[in-house]
Amino acid sequence: MSEHGTTHDEVSRAATGTLPQRFDDPGLPPHVPRQADHDESAAKRAERQVAVMFGLSIVSTVAFLVAYFAVDQRSTVFFPGIGSTNAYHLVLGVTLALSLLMIGLGAVHWAKTLMPDHEVVEERHPLRSSDEDREHAVATILDGGDAAQLPRRNMIKYSLGGALGLFSLPLVLQVAGSLGPTNVSELAETLWDIPTEGKHAGKPIRLMRDPQNTPIKAEEVAIGSVFHVLPESLDWHKEENVEAGRAEWKGVLDEKAKAAVILVRLDPKDFVSTKARDWGYQGIVAYSKICTHVGCPVGLYEQKTHNLLCPCHQSTFDVTRDCEVVFGPAKRALPQLKITVDADGYLVAPEGFKEPVGPSYWER
């Protein structure tokens, strides 16, 4: 693509107008020797420096071994700039770091000061094989095919193709067929749905404080306060587990992940939506805490703006307007849980959510 001139006296050539298109590569610059190349004492000093670094590594390794046994695992130490910190961790870490670093620094220093620093040139060759080699490779493959009688034995060819094409199916089916259940309709069910059978059948479900697990009376909920709530039926779920001989906590998190609810009390005047107010009790309203975006708990309630904020992606919901989205990537409002009080004055949910809680999915 480019021409390479061979010029020696650019100025005189300029005069005659025969300068090349491009400069010439002057070749590698002359080697500049290092101190240690010509001064034996400098070389000796470099040797000592390297040896000191390797020596420090040995010392640090020994210090690590000693500290491993000698330092109390719970002891603390004040380290400037860091503050009070666990001494055991610090000593082990620093000695390990020094033991490693000193080997590395020593080796590199050795390479830099004492090993040859003349640059070496290695030629490159085009990567492409020669035409003969390519032809030879093609011929070998074709000959092999011929020798195996592949072109003539169509029955073998097609049956082999079929066998190779199908053999992985059992393996794929084994995995895909055994992965997870398909009862995705569960996504629309929560523990707030009133049980239709069993000893709790038809019973409205009390709202319980999370994590204290105590029922809530309406008068305990002051205006401007927020309660994090789980259904009473979570206890029933645990009881069932125990009765059925399962681990008590089996499936508890799965249920919590759908049933977590946030309860707030507003001055009834503050509601813009009458539905929000009517599904509540004297200004107390309950909404699903699971974000309709990707499912983080929407726990950040601002009592003056009545906004609920999700800490994961900042979707913001307005409690006074049915928890509709006022900012952020979510589209749908948080589902509201209808509440009232039972005979003892405790807040209860007389029916479950009217729509699936949590992130959107195709068939919701």
- Binding residues for another protein restricted to 224-283, rule: CB under 8 A: 224-228, 230, 247, 249, 252-254, 256-258, 260, 264
Give the binding-site size for another protein (rule: CB under 8 A): 150
Q: Which is nearer to another protein, 150 or 239 (CB)?
A: 239
For the CB of residue 343, give the shortest distance to another protein in the complex, in Å. 20
* Site for another protein contains 113 (CB under 8 A): yes
Q: Binders of another protein among 287-346, rule CB under 8 A?
A: 289-290, 293-297, 299-305, 307, 309, 311-316, 325, 327-332
Say how many C-beta atoms besides its own lie within 10 A of residue 35's C-beta. Answer: 12
| Euclidean distance between CA atoms 61 and 63, whole angstroms | 5
For the CB of residue 322, give the shortest distance to another protein in the complex, in Å. 15
Q: Name the DSSP class of 140.
A: H
Report yes or no: 320 and 272 within 8 Å, Cβ to Cβ: yes
Q: Binders of another protein among 195-224, rule CB under 8 A?
A: 209-212, 217, 219-224
Of the residues 180, 197, 201, 245, which one makes contact with another protein according to CB under 8 A: 180
For the CB of residue 216, give the shortest distance to another protein in the complex, in Å. 8
Q: Which is nearer to another protein, 71 or 194 (CB)?
A: 71
- In the stretch 69-108, what mask flags binding to another protein with x, by CB under 8 A? ---xxxxxxxx-xxxxxx-xxx-xxx-xxxxxxxxxxxxx
Main-chain phi, psi angles of 347, to 5 degrees: -70, 135
| Euclidean distance between CA atoms 257 and 208, whole angstroms | 15
Encoded tokens for 306? 């009545």
| Euclidean distance between CA atoms 321 and 165, whole angstroms | 58
Say how many C-beta atoms besides its own lie within 10 A of residue 338's C-beta. Answer: 18
> Which candidate, 226, 244, 227, places its Cα nearest to that of 236?
244
Report yes or no: 195 and 233 within 8 Å, Cβ to Cβ: yes
- In the stretch 121-150, what mask flags binding to another protein with x, by CB under 8 A? xxxx-xx-----------------------
Encoded tokens for 186? 């569960």
Report yes or no: 332 and 292 within 8 Å, Cβ to Cβ: yes
For the CB of residue 135, give the shortest distance to another protein in the complex, in Å. 21
* Site for another protein contains 65 (CB under 8 A): no
Q: At what angle do helices 252-259 and 233-243 cross, to 10 degrees?
A: 160
> Which candidate, 264, 259, 311, 316, places its Cα nearest to that of 288?
259
Of the residues 28, 155, 244, 343, which one makes contact with another protein according to CB under 8 A: 28
For the CB of residue 30, give the shortest distance to another protein in the complex, in Å. 6
* Site for another protein contains 40 (CB under 8 A): no
User: Which H/E stretch holds residue 17?
Assistant: none
If phi > 0 it is left, if psi is from -120 to 50 it is alpha, else beta; for residue 150 that is alpha
Q: Which is nearer to another protein, 150 or 297 (CB)?
A: 297
| Euclidean distance between CA atoms 125 and 187, whole angstroms | 63
